[in-house]
Chain A
Amino acid sequence: MKISKLTKNFERFSLFVDEMELVPGKIYGIIGPNGCGKTTAMKLIAGLIKPDSGQIDRCGLTERDITMAFRKPYLIRDTVVRNLTYPLTIRGIQPDERQIKESLSLAGLWDYRDSFAPGLSSGEQQKLSLLRAMIFSPKLMLIDEAFSNLDMESAGLFERMILERQQTNPATYLICAHQLSHIQRLCAYIFFMHKGKIEARGQAEDILYAPQNPHLKNYLKYASLREEAPGWNS
């Protein structure tokens, strides 16, 4: 997936992505201060909004292969199970009962399978939305702050789930998070955005531990990162 000279203008903000390339099967991170354009960039990549100019080459991926999970997920006014299986239903795929039970149990949602989904707590809603996004095995998954309400155990669970899947069923991920520990554990390559532009990019260890860009240095000043980056698959 290649992006070049992408612009999008809003009243108070404009975004310019000079160049960005996502190689299939890799996990990318995107970091930057509030209002730097991370969400807008992700929405452009997902095709949820149209750019004012510039090119996105999705290399054959269609809307059906891409998904995006939000910090505030939308849950259908229906049961937890029906929310989880919605992507399968619209694709005409018969859901695998065993798989449903397994993934809901893993996230601690099996007991609430017939509950009204919008009535779940915000963390549970995020878990459900992540499960729902992953259930149809998208080729490209954009995760916008979708870990923010999860407790550490749940976040770890999803991190592990993503990394395990990369072994069997690899997909491209672009993950945005303010808790840099997630980024640190998951991502091989990181983009740093500042005021609508990508100001730094590189291998995770270079960006997080040897920042050059002054804005990036400033952004990382308050981050508490463990010296060694373990990674679940390392």
Chain B
Amino acid sequence: MMFEILDAEVLGIITLTLRMTLFSTAISSLIGIPLGLWLDSARFAGKKLVVIINRTLMASPPVVVGLVVYLLLMRNGPFGFMGLLFTFEAMVIAQVLLLTPIICGIVHTASARSAEGIRLFARTMGANKTQTQLLLIKELGNDIFFAVVTGFGRAMSEVGAIMIVGGNIRHQTRTMTTTISLLRGMGEIHQAIFLGAVLMLIAFSVQMTADFFRKRERASDENF
């Protein structure tokens, strides 16, 4: 599988990678952001333990997560009947397991730092629960944005887990990172580096966009 610079196959791989990254980041954000906010506000026995477990999961080795998802999805596993192993969905599932603790952890930390003041303020204004939650998300916007961008970066660069559960099947579950790994195995170091550079370029664009949005808020408080 030699390819020209940015031929149809490479474009397909890039599209697939971005699609997977967007899906996994979106789902992980939908779970991780409320979970992080909840983890800060909730009071229950063993909360400290939950926070520590989440921090541990933030650093869980992708290969292990991949193997766990593999065991769950394999034909003789508990979810084997769904036939998800070696599919796009399987990669998203593994990614969500990897990203959710990261997004949840960053949001929780940010929330622990400033949410109490925001909640207090919301109550003095007479905001109801939904309005308080909305205000919280708006006020922690920058931190939440950072959590999502971090998740996005992680999802795009991940290789260990998706290799195992996706199977690196050409045209189906082959992403930029698994392709790089394959090219390296084939001795095609130059192509591997080229694809790596494309990956870095996309990551850079994402960070630039993120920074642009962050800057906009900054610029407006330079009035003083």
- Residues of chain A touching chain B, judged by Cβ–Cβ distance below 8 Å, are 46-48, 62-69, 73-74, 76-78, 86-87, 90-91, 112, 115-116, 118-121, 132-133, 136
Taking A47-B123, A48-B120, A67-B125 as given, write out 19 further A-B residue pairs in contact, using a Cβ cutoff of 8 Å, ordered by the A residue number: A46-B123, A48-B123, A67-B124, A67-B126, A74-B117, A76-B135, A76-B138, A77-B142, A78-B138, A86-B125, A90-B125, A112-B223, A116-B223, A119-B221, A119-B224, A120-B224, A121-B224, A132-B125, A136-B126
> What are the 9 A-B residue pairs with the smallest beta carbon separation, nearest first?
A119-B221, A116-B221, A64-B126, A74-B121, A116-B220, A115-B223, A119-B224, A68-B124, A90-B131
In the assembled complex, which residues on chain B have CB atoms less than 8 Å from the CB atom of A120? 224
User: Is B217 interfacial (CB-CB < 8 Å)?
Assistant: yes
User: Is B222 interfacial (CB-CB < 8 Å)?
Assistant: yes
CB within 8 Å of A: which B121-151 residues: 121, 123-128, 131, 135, 138-139, 141-142
Cα(A68)–Cα(B126), bound, Å: 10
Cα(A73)–Cα(B125), bound, Å: 12
Residue of A nearest to B130 (CB): A90
In the assembled complex, which residues on chain B have CB atoms less than 8 Å from the CB atom of A62? 126
User: Is B118 interfacial (CB-CB < 8 Å)?
Assistant: yes
Cα(A63)–Cα(B125), bound, Å: 8
Cα(A31)–Cα(B102), bound, Å: 47
Interface centre among A62, A86, A120 (most CB of B within 10 A): A86
Residue of B nearest to A79 (CB): B220
Interface centre among A47, A68, A69, A77 (most CB of B within 10 A): A77
Cα(A87)–Cα(B117), bound, Å: 16
A116/B217 in contact, CB under 8 A: yes
A63/B123 in contact, CB under 8 A: yes
In the assembled complex, which residues on chain B have CB atoms less than 8 Å from the CB atom of A121? 224
Cα(A115)–Cα(B139), bound, Å: 16
Q: Is the interface of B mostly helix, strand, loop or mixed?
A: helix
Count residues of chain B with CB under 8 A from any CB of chain A.
22
In the assembled complex, which residues on chain B have CB atoms less than 8 Å from the CB atom of A73? 121
Whole-angstrom distance from the CB of B220 to the nearest CB of chain A? 4
B126/A74 in contact, CB under 8 A: no
Residue of A nearest to B135 (CB): A76
B138/A77 in contact, CB under 8 A: yes
Interface centre among B138, B141, B221 (most CB of A within 10 A): B221
With A74-B117, A77-B141 known as contacts, the answer to whether A115 contacts B135 (CB < 8 A) is no
With A48-B124, A67-B125, A87-B125 known as contacts, the answer to whether A76 contacts B221 (CB < 8 A) is no
In the assembled complex, which residues on chain A have CB atoms less than 8 Å from the CB atom of B220? 115-116, 119
In the assembled complex, which residues on chain B have CB atoms less than 8 Å from the CB atom of A76? 135, 138-139
Cα(A76)–Cα(B222), bound, Å: 16
Cα(A73)–Cα(B217), bound, Å: 20
A119/B124 in contact, CB under 8 A: no
Residue of B nearest to A69 (CB): B124
In the assembled complex, which residues on chain A have CB atoms less than 8 Å from the CB atom of B124? 46, 48, 66-69, 133
Cα(A86)–Cα(B118), bound, Å: 13
Cα(A67)–Cα(B123), bound, Å: 8
Cα(A186)–Cα(B138), bound, Å: 37
B126/A90 in contact, CB under 8 A: yes
Cα(A116)–Cα(B121), bound, Å: 18
Partner of B217, one of A68, A77, A115, A136: A77
Interface centre among B128, B222, B224 (most CB of A within 10 A): B224
| 0/1 interface trace, chain B 197-217, chain A, CB 8 Å (1 if under) | 000000000000000000001
Whole-angstrom distance from the CB of A63 to the nearest CB of chain B? 5
In the assembled complex, which residues on chain B have CB atoms less than 8 Å from the CB atom of A118? 221
A-B contact pairs, 28 of them (CB 8 A): A48-B120, A62-B126, A63-B123, A65-B126, A66-B126, A67-B125, A68-B124, A74-B118, A76-B138, A76-B139, A77-B142, A77-B217, A78-B138, A87-B126, A90-B126, A90-B127, A90-B131, A91-B126, A115-B221, A116-B217, A116-B220, A116-B221, A118-B221, A119-B223, A119-B224, A121-B224, A132-B125, A133-B124
